[in-house]
Amino acid sequence: MKLTIQEVAQKAGVGVGTVSRVLNNHKSVRPETRERVQAAMNEMGFVPNPHARRVAGGKSYTVSIILQVIGTEFYLRLLNGLEKTLETHRYDSALFPLIGRERIERYLNSSTLAYQSDGIVMATHNLGELYPDGKLPTRQPVVIVDGLNEHYDSVYLDNRFGGELAARALSGFEGEIYAISVHQDIDEVFAKTVFDERIEGFKAALEEAGKPLLESHVSTVSFNLDNARIAAKEILENTTIPVNIFAAADLVALGVLEEAARLNLEVGRDVRVIGFDDHPWSAERGLTSVHQPVEAMGAAAAELLVDRLSGYDGAPRKVRFEPRLVERASTLHSED
């Protein structure tokens, strides 16, 4: 039932070494030979045994992904980007959703688990809070994604710039300007400064445009739709129309859209809204949003780590991703 590399070799009429080389994308295999081996593997439905590979190779070919899985679309997309890219390099990924301090410590102290991964991808984590020197107590290569750390390769989005984009788009319109930010839960291990950065950029660019944002026009909600709607209601019922709102996350912007609909306000004319994320559903909803290439960021982080695992040992690299504004109906005058 279980096929081995031996049987593939026999069927393809080559040696086991060659099959292994095909499996690992070694350059020194004649294209024609490679094809023959691949055909044999496909035909037989051969799947290599990862455990044997690990013992022979002396590595685990596994990467730990440490994140705060709060079930948001952002992390789901990030994960998809990470896993997909790791897979192409034949790395497995092990997930460590670190809800709570106890768990992160347990993971880092466990000799069993440490054995199992060759590197770590850490998402959205400000290590400074947990470890004064900003370093994880491990020798494994570490890559930070959706965050910035001076000791490790980092992949980050320029959230501030994203806020600026939103400001430039809204400042030209008639009407008051509001912003809704998102606050993090107090006891989170993960420090999430991204929302603050977005709002900061927004404020700065408005200031520059000569339309400074009033402090009273900034509200902060926790990350869920219900609260977003409450904040939106508060704004929409106590201001003059038209009004322009920047939401620090698409989910929050959705709350504004829903509340506007309930109040029979026309989005794009009475209420203009810009979200942040540009999640797939934003297009359907006609929501203008600051786009961030989440999957690509995951992929970039994966590449950075694989690179380290393949021997690269230079200084920490920083990969900056730049958001861009995707304009849709929610910031356009409707022509009817």
Partner DNA sequence: ACACAACTTGGAAATGTTTCCAGTAAACTG
Partner DNA sequence: CAGTTTACTGGAAACATTTCCAAGTTGTGT
* Count of residues that bind a second copy according to CB under 8 A: 31
Instruction: State which of residues 36, 38, 89, 97 lies at the interface with a second copy (CB under 8 A).
Output: 97
Q: Phi, psi (5° rounding) for residue 30?
A: -65, 135
Nearest CA-CA partner of 159 in 115, 205, 99: 205
Q: Does 55 bind a second copy (CB under 8 A)?
A: yes
- Tell which positions 25-54 bind a second copy, by CB under 8 A: 47, 49-52, 54
Overall residue count recorded for the chain in this entry:
336
Instruction: State which of residues 94, 263, 296, 319 lies at the interface with a second copy (CB under 8 A).
Output: 94
Q: Report how far residue 46's alpha carbon sits from residue 6's, in angstroms, rounded to the nearest whole number.
A: 11
Q: Report how far residue 68's alpha carbon sits from residue 130's, in angstroms, rounded to the nearest whole number.
A: 15
Q: State whether residue 202 is helix, strand or coil.
A: helix
- Tell which positions 24-43 bind DNA, by CB under 7 A: 24, 27-30, 32-34
Q: Does 115 bind a second copy (CB under 8 A)?
A: yes
Instruction: State which of residues 25, 39, 44, 52 lies at the interface with DNA (CB under 7 A).
Output: 52
Q: Which is nearer to a second copy, 232 or 325 (CB)?
A: 232
Q: State whether residue 179 is helix, strand or coil.
A: strand
Q: Which is nearer to a second copy, 226 or 322 (CB)?
A: 226
Could you give the maximum distance between any two Cα atoms of the chain, in Å?
A: 79
Q: Report how far residue 20's alpha carbon sits from residue 32's, in angstroms, rounded to the nearest whole number.
A: 16
Q: Does 116 bind a second copy (CB under 8 A)?
A: yes
Q: Does 95 bind a second copy (CB under 8 A)?
A: yes
Instruction: State which of residues 31, 71, 132, 137 lies at the interface with a second copy (CB under 8 A).
Output: 71
Selected range binding DNA among 17-25, 130-138, 273-281, 304-312, rule: CB under 7 A: 17-25
Q: Does 226 bind a second copy (CB under 8 A)?
A: yes
Instruction: State which of residues 35, 44, 57, 280 lies at the interface with DNA (CB under 7 A).
Output: 57
Nearest CA-CA partner of 247 in 141, 162, 146: 162
Q: Report how far residue 115's alpha carbon sits from residue 134's, in angstroms, rounded to the nearest whole number.
A: 23
Place of tokens 């410590």: 105
Contact yes or no for 167/246 (Cβ under 8 A): yes
Could you tell which of a second copy, DNA, none binds residue 193, using a CB distance below 5 to 8 A set by kind?
Answer: none
Tell me the closest approach of the beta carbon of residue 35 to DNA, in angstroms.
10
Q: E strands within 115-152?
A: 119-123, 142-145
Q: State whether residue 30 is helix, strand or coil.
A: coil
Q: Report how far residue 260's alpha carbon sits from residue 267's, in angstroms, rounded to the nearest whole number.
A: 7
Q: What is the contact surface with DNA in residues (CB under 7 A)?
A: 2-6, 13-21, 23-24, 27-30, 32-34, 48-49, 52-53, 55-58
Q: What is the contact surface with a second copy in residues (CB under 8 A)?
A: 47, 49-52, 54-55, 60, 68-71, 76, 87, 92, 94-97, 99-100, 103, 111-112, 115-116, 222, 224, 226-227, 230
